[in-house]
Amino acid sequence: MELIFQSLINGLIQGGFFALFAVGLVLIFGVMGVVNFAHGELVMVGAYTVWLLHAQHGLSYFFAIGVAVVLVTLIGLFMERFLFRPTQNDPLAGLICSIGMLFILQVVATLVGGEGPSKQVPPPFHGTWVLFEYLRIPYQRIFSLLISFFALSTLWYFLTRSKLGWALRAVSLDKEASALQGININRISMIAIGIGASLAGLAGALMAPLTNINPHMGHNVIITAFIVTIVGGVGSLSGAVLAAFLYALFHTFVTVYFGGTIATICGLVLMVVVLIVKPTGIMGTRISE
Amino acid sequence: MNSNTQKIVGGSLLLAALIALPHFLKFHHQDLLIFLTINVLAVSSYRIVTLTGEWSLIHAVMMGVGGYTAALLFKYYEVGMWVTLPMAGILTAAVAALLCFPLFRTTQFYFLIGSFAAGEAIRLIWIQFVFPFGGTGGLSGVEPPMVGEIDFMESIPYYYLALSVVLLCLFILYLIENSRIGLTLHAVHWKAALAESVGVDTWRYRSLAFVIGSFFVGIAGALKVHYLGTITPNQFGVGFMVFILIWVIVGGYNKFYGPILGAVVLTLFDESIRGFAEVRPAIYGAVLILSILFLPLGLESIPSKFKAWSGIGKERDPLSLTDK
Amino acid sequence: MKITRRKLIRAAAAGTAMTGTLGLPTALFAGQKTVKLGMNIPMTGDYAPWGLPGLYGCQIVANDLNAAGGVKIGGDNYKIEIVAYDHAYDTEKAVQGYKKLVLEDRVKMVMMLGGSTVASVLPWARRKKMLTTTLLPSDITPKSDYLIATCESHPLYNVTGVEWLAENHPEAKTAVIVTNNDAEYGLQSAATYKAAFEVAGIKVVDVNLHGFDITDFAPIVSSVLAKKPDIFCMATSFYVTPLMEQLYHQGFKGKIISCTLDYYNEIIAKTSKDFVNGTIFQFPDFDDPALNQAGVSFPNPADFDAKFRKAHPTDWSAVSWEYPAILLNWLEGAKAAGSVEPTAVLSALKSNKNPNFVFGEGEWWGKDLWGQDNALVGRWPVVVVEDGKARIQEYRSVSSWLDRNKAVLIRHMKDLGLRTV
């Protein structure tokens, strides 16, 4: 019984991270129609920034999070302007360009951090919150969960209550019709990738004290993000958030009872099944082209 | 001299050069030559999959399926390379045929992601099941054959063996592409609706291309494992898949020789920047981006571009990167 | 310090080789010859922490020997040159690097880490009769005549930690094992720990094998802690730091035993000194006073430790001293043989009935498990963290444990599907 409650909590915290980077991927795909293979590397850059500024140079953790978000957003904007916009008529070309970017970001990380062991960031929040004498949640994870919750609700508010948010959703539904309505597609693309990248940077910054940081950490992130995106439904933000939490719980429980690799295999198979049975995902309404 | 004689003379010269080549190389360059020969088969077999317009991300893993087939047959049934080589092709094709049922119910982006997921799942199965796949450490002790006095563990004899197999496979791939099947595959890509309206079952032809491509890449995998002696799951991860993509795209995939050109040129390029070990992947990444942005038809388009520019030939390739 | 490391990698890049003579006067002493020793190791990627620090260590030892005028072997005076290639733990690169070392650089020995990269070069070692060393005795096969493991006896030494734990903490009765699911490091260690626990009368209540694709260890740790173990054992995990962090947060109060505890200062920074204190593992720091005892053959360990940490402050790992110890073993063999030729050195080393093992006298072992007596096994230190610092508690004999219990060990190895003869 304790194990079930503890696993529920572990799963929810995981879900917060999954949602942060999956929502970004969905947003970019929805608006620009491009699969950003380098999304995991954006998370990695966020984590490296925190390692460099906070763990190496002793700057404040909050300041480091801020820099990570801004830096990753800038990288995202760069990618939109110089990689995705010139290739916007060809989704494959955009994908290949993002793979090129992935290599470049990994090398930059290696040059900054050097080879050798994975980097570690000492957690700014020490200690654990003990509930009912057996449930244990480290303060660091509570902090991460609160921030991801805050970021996601802000995004939700922006998308549903602001004019720009409406425009963004319109573009992801129908590009041509939106353009006819006078929406500036390039500007909306910039905003979409800006939001997506900043969320990835935030996810990396929040994960930094909790995981092994190395140039290749993006690989596991992108696999998870793909699974969540497909299961949630490509182009559906609420689907992605829901899928992030469901998949995190699913992965956590399968890990507990059958092992981690089996959990990932199950996730991949689940994704293929969803692709076949309901390619629009659990919440998706967009029909594949 | 008519064009046929030109082709025969050119072909013989190329063949002579390929036969003489290893004798001028250092030992470790001979190894590189063998890996390059095998990779040429990997990219050419990938081309046949892409003919229908579907880009899969499972090709590297299919090469691994061929490699594991050969390794398992050799280790548990003690059969030699002459059996494992065709069996690797057949079994990989069989696995591909099974995968067709789920994967080709999707197209485009969904197929890309679906093939990626299926490939990762297969790779994780190799890691998870230590028996029989050996886990992350993989399998070892797979030997190349001995034929009388010829010892295929040495680089030069193995190079000739690999070269013969690869040339034979390329020849068959070329024949397929220029046969009725090949033309239908092109039609499925460029005029899917039209092809369907005249009774072509596009699902069947997409699957056929995938199975044929997998058969040949399976053979490539077996060639690799018999030379290296070991096979591990990480050799066939997304890293190698990305290299196949880069070779095909930088070389250009509208012509048969484009991907081969890409593999050869980039392998030479890679060897020449060996001095920058740490930043090599970034240089690769930059080359990839630049070629997508400025040379979307790949290296093979340079001659025709040059012709167009100098006004020698007026023809230009009408195909853009995707069909619109 | 980062700059030094990067500079070294650049140096490696420049000719794809690093030599042990960097920054030393290159002039040879009169009549001096050069002997090249090869390293075919991971210097980049996940496995780099078990390759690169070994190169740094070898450079320190080689520089010291060269500065003292070189080494005398069979009447000749030699300068030692280390030639190293990075294979990034990729079998394709390992074969290429190995052939380059043997056929082009003409080295007299190749030092390697182990696992699939060693398996892929074994046919070439046999063909070229090249002395090759590994840190994993489990790489030995009935046909691997030229492969020896003279330093690390992975995973055999893990039995010493368990013996010590059982003796000093008899109240601990149940254990869980968590490790990577690879057959080269993790499973070998897991089988050994299972055997050692069984012999010590400790019940293993759960074995959790995890992959390399884990980003969060909370579920794994929760799942094994639900079994309420007295002992948490990390067999050979690449993720000791995040596992320790989770143990700390989930309030584990029992004993912790691990094969390695690399970069334990970082673990202390992530948890607390009190929490890490008492953790048992197998790899000492070399400023440990217990290394000055009679029997330890490594010359002046404290001096080596100081030099290493001065040049590479954050890079000390389990392998920092292991490759240098192998180099010193080779030197001993070469002196005994009066020759640097690989076959001569190998037979001199193998014909010595009581060869000098790094922690004292050893014996050649391995036939019963892997088919050949090519692993040097002797006593091994049990290390415990005391007040934030690794300290050797005592040396215990691996060989005598094996004499008594090898049947148990072989049974557990077979259980996990590992190769035995």
Q: What is the pLDDT of residues B287-318, one digit of tens each?
A: 888 888 888 777 877 877 777 766 554 444 44
Chain C residue with minimum CA distance to A249: C219
Alpha helices in C177-277 (DSSP H): 186-200, 218-225, 240-249, 264-270, 273-276
Q: What percent of chain C has pLDDT over 90?
A: 60
Does residue C14 carry a pLDDT above 60?
no
CA distance A49 to A52: 5
The range of the structural domain enclosing residue A55 comes to 18-215
Backbone angles phi, psi at C87, to 5 degrees: -110, 0
Residues of C in contact with B228 (CB under 8 A): 91-92, 95, 120
User: Which domains does chain C show, CATH number per domain?
Assistant: 2-154+290-377 (3.40.50.2300), 158-281+380-415 (3.40.50.2300)
- Give dist(CA C403, CA C76) in Å, integer: 41
B73-88 tens-digit pLDDT: 998 888 888 899 999 9
State which of B122-136, B265-279, C98-112 shows the largest mean pLDDT: C98-112
A120 to chain C, any CB pair closer than 8 A? The answer is yes
What is d(CA C267, CA A162) in angstroms, rounded to the nearest whole number? 46
Candidate from B117, B242, B293 with C-beta closest to A86:
B293
Of A139-153, B193-207, C101-115, C364-378, where does mean pLDDT reach its minimum? B193-207
**Contact yes or no for B130 and C104 at CB 8 A:** no
Residues in A closer than 8 angstroms to B285, CB to CB, are 99-104, 107
Q: What is residue A287's DSSP assignment?
A: P
Rounded-to-integer distance, Cα B15 and Cα B9, Å? 10
Q: Could you state, in order of their start, the residue ranges of all structural domains in chain B?
A: 27-236, 238-324
Of C215 and B217, more confident: B217
Q: Domain count of chain A?
A: 1
Predicted confidence (pLDDT) at residue A149 exceeds the cutoff of 60: yes
Task: Give the closest of A120, A130, A260 to C220, CB-based.
Answer: A260
pLDDT number for residue B312: 52
Interface check A78 vs B, CB under 8 A: no
C 155-214 residues with CB < 8 A to B: 180-184, 187, 211-213
Tokens of B233: 């799951």
C-alpha–C-alpha distance, residues A153 and A151, integer Å: 6
Let me know if residue A246 belongs to a domain: no
Q: How sure is the predictor about C88, in pLDDT bands with cuts at 50, 70 and 90?
A: confident
Q: By mean pLDDT, which of B135-144, B182-191, C199-208, C269-278 is the weakest?
A: B182-191
pLDDT, chain B, mean = 85
Residues of chain A found within 8 Å of residue C216, distances taken between Cβ atoms: 10, 14, 210-211
Structure confidence at residue B150 as a pLDDT band (50, 70, 90): confident
Sheet hosting strand C71-73, strand order edge to edge: C71-73, C76-86, C32-41, C110-112, C132-133, C147-148
Cβ <8 Å between A207 and C251: no
Contacts of A288 in chain B (CB under 8 A): 106-110
Residue A28, in any domain of the structure: yes
Domain assignment of residue A249, yes or no? no
In sequence order, the β-bridge partners of residue A243 are: none
Least CB-CB distance to A259: which of C43, C208, C239?
Answer: C208
Higher per-residue confidence, A226 vs B218:
B218
**Neighboring chain C residues of A7 at a CB cutoff of 8 Å:** 219, 222-223
A216 CB neighbours in chain C (<8 A) are: 45-46
Please say whether the beta carbons of B141 and B11 come within 8 A.
no
> Cβ of A280 under 8 Å from any chain C Cβ?
no
**What is the C-alpha R_g of chain A?**
19
Q: What is the mean pLDDT of residues B211-219?
A: 97
Closest of C218, C219, C278 to residue C254, by C-alpha: C278
What is the C-alpha separation between A272 and C188, in angstroms, rounded?
34
Rounded Cα distance between A99 and B245, Å, is: 10
Nearest to C99 among B27, B276, B278 (CB): B27
> How many residues does the structure list for chain C?
421
C253 and A CB contact within 8 Å: no
Contact residues, chain B, for C187 at CB < 8 Å? 130, 135
Please check whether residue B139 is in contact with residue B68, taking contact to mean a CB–CB distance below 8 angstroms: yes
Cα distances from C135 to residues B137, B230, C27, C54, C97, in angstroms, run 15, 19, 34, 11, 18
Q: Is residue A190 part of a domain?
A: yes
Determine, for residues C215 and A224 on separate chains, whether the beta-carbon distance falls below 8 Å.
yes
Q: What is the pLDDT of residue A289?
A: 32
pLDDT over threshold 90, residue B33: yes
CB pairs under 8 A between A and C: 111
Encoded tokens for C210: 């995890």
B277 and C13 within 8 Å at the Cβ level: the answer is yes
Q: Where are the alpha helices (DSSP H) in C318-418?
A: 322-337, 342-351, 367-370, 398-415
Query: Which chain C positions have a beta carbon within 8 Å of A136's beta carbon?
Result: 249-251
pLDDT tens per residue, range C22-76: 444 445 566 788 999 999 999 887 788 889 999 999 999 999 999 998 999 988 8
Contact C215 A261 (CB under 8 A): no
Span between the terminal Cα atoms of chain C, in Å:
46
Taking the alpha carbons of B51, B55, B58, B59 in that order, is the dihedral positive or negative? positive
Chain A residues with beta carbon closer than 8 angstroms to that of C251: 128, 130, 136
Cβ–Cβ of C16/B228 closer than 8 Å?
no
Q: Do C213 and A220 touch (CB under 8 A)?
A: yes
Decide if C201 touches A, using CB distance below 8 A. no
Least confident of A58-72, C25-39, C181-195, C342-356: C25-39
**ipTM for this model:** 0.83
**Predicted pLDDT at B137:** 84
The angle formed by the CA atoms of residues B125, B130 and B133, to the nearest 5 degrees, is 65
Distance between CA atoms of A244 and A238, rounded to whole angstroms?
A: 10
Mutate to test the interface with C, among B29, B63, B124, B130 (most CBs of C within 10 A): B130
Evaluate whether C143 touches C160 at the Cβ level (below 8 Å): no
Which residues from B are below 8 Å from C when comparing CB atoms?
A: 26-28, 31-32, 35, 124, 127-128, 130-131, 134-138, 140-141, 143, 153, 228-232, 234-235, 274-278
Is position A88 within any domain?
yes
- A284 belongs to a structural domain: no
Q: Chains that contact A by 3+ CB pairs under 8 Å?
A: B, C
Q: What is the pLDDT of residues A73-113, one digit of tens each?
A: 999 999 999 988 888 877 778 888 998 999 999 999 988 88
pLDDT digits (tens, 9 = 90+) for C152-178: 888 899 999 999 999 999 999 999 999
Sign of the C-alpha dihedral, residues C388, C393, C395, C398? negative
Closest by CA position to C104, among listed C119, C76, C123, C85: C85
A193-247 pLDDT, tens digit per residue, is 999 999 999 999 999 988 889 888 888 888 888 888 888 877 678 888 899 999 9
Separation between Cα atoms, residue C420 and residue B306, nearest integer Å: 63
Look at A112-126, A270-284, B164-178 and tell me which has the smallest mean pLDDT: A270-284
Among A53-62, A216-225, C14-23, the minimum mean pLDDT is found in: C14-23
